[in-house]
Amino acid sequence: MYKVAVLPGDGIGTEIVDSALAVLDAVAESHKFLISYEKALFGGAAYDEYGNPFPEETLEIVNRSDAILLGAVGGPKWDEVERTLRPESGLLSIRKKLGLYSNIRPVKYFPILAEKVAWKPENLEGVDLVIFRELTGGAYFGEKGRNGDQAYDTISYSKEEIRRIVKDAFEMAMKRKKLLHSIDKANVLETSRLWREVVLEVAKEYPEVQVEHQYVDNAAFQLIINPRQYDVVVTENMFGDILSDEAASIAGSLGMLPSASLGGEINLYEPAHGSAPDIAGQDKANPIATILSAAMMLRTSFNEDQAAKAIEDAIENVLAKGFATGDIAGKDSTIVGTIEFTEKVCEEIRSN
């Protein structure tokens, strides 16, 4: 029995998580394994109830689970809340407490969504890359504060913090095309110079992997003009946050991108997008990123590769038949809501 802590979060979180759970139930039935869920409050919903976005009550549920499925957190409702208690701070806290130092975001081009991307389709054919973003260091976790009219955020990294995620990226590169791009700003930042030194050290352990170094500003440009050059990308926290969101445009929508936060005994899976409070409760949310995150959970935490592939194939089949939520619908698409799209994915799983 696989035990999953379910943290729906805020906004559309409840809807997209319900979609993922329905798909998980369908694939568990067809692939003959057992899975159970225990829900808990997280983010703004937890702040409203407990005054803390990641309360002890939720931590207890997380600690007795095998993996975590998270919806989305945040929204303008909590804009005036103290920074350390805002919904997003719950994400920083859970990553730190569980030792989740590595965020993995697959980015894939879906030809069926050609109308929704800014590039010519021929420039995107075959794009299938993975971004490794360091999660627990850098400016987001460094010392920060105000001093009169000044404000500061400190970027800090140790060799070990860099080495562990770089090594994970090399391991992934070995399983794919044996190509790794390391993104830094070594011409300006001392932390980036250390980053590059560590990458070069680790590279000696993986002589089969071709390593390319790029400055982050150039990488942002290259992602737009030639994304096919990338396979595995590794970078620090803030750069990874920005580049992975930029890369979402390759998929046509943030609603297409899953992610996994790894490194601890209990790993976390979530969509790359936010809580979209403006469409919450309207059956408009795109559940694909969350469903694909659930597939990543099956593959990574539970070694259910066939079940994960069944989910991925089902989504592609539904899209190929022309069904899509409004955010990704083209001129020939049949627009369906969150619930109907989920039902069609479940039907595909059960029929194959």
Q: pLDDT (tens digit, 9 = 90+) per residue, 72-129? A: 999 999 999 998 899 999 998 999 899 999 999 999 888 877 777 777 778 888 899 9
Question: Please, what is the average pLDDT of the chain?
Answer: 94
More confident residue, 249 or 198: 198
Residue 195 corresponds to which tokens in the numbers above? 């980053």
Q: pLDDT (tens digit, 9 = 90+) per residue, 123-151? A: 888 899 999 999 989 999 899 999 999 99
Q: What pLDDT score does 59 carry?
A: 97
Catalytic residues: 140, 185, 217, 241, 245
Q: What pLDDT score does 220 carry?
A: 97
Mean pLDDT of 248-274: 90
Q: How far is it, in rounded angstroms, from Cα 139 to Cα 164?
A: 18
Share of the chain above pLDDT 90, in %: 85
In this structure, the strands spanning 67-72 and 2-9 are: parallel
For each of the domains in the chain, give its residue range(s) and CATH number, in order of start: 1-101+260-352 (3.40.718.10), 118-251 (3.40.718.10)
Mean pLDDT of 151-173: 96
Mean pLDDT of 53-64: 97
Can you say whether residue 259 is alpha, beta or left, with left for phi > 0 and alpha for psi between -120 and 50 degrees?
beta
Q: What pLDDT score does 202 carry?
A: 98
Q: What pLDDT score does 187 carry?
A: 98
Three-point CA angle 75, 77, 81, nearest 5°: 100
8 Å CB contact between 191 and 156:
yes
More confident residue, 149 or 252: 149
Q: How far is it, in rounded angstroms, from Cα 322 to Cα 253?
A: 16
Position 203 pLDDT exceeds 80: yes
More confident residue, 254 or 89: 89
Q: What pLDDT score does 265 carry?
A: 92
Mean pLDDT of 264-275: 94
Cross-strand bridge partners of residue 240: none
Q: What pLDDT score does 35 carry?
A: 98
Q: How far is it, in rounded angstroms, from Cα 215 to Cα 134?
A: 16
With bands split at pLDDT 50, 70 and 90, how would you rate the model's confidence at 272?
Answer: confident
8 Å CB contact between 196 and 166:
no
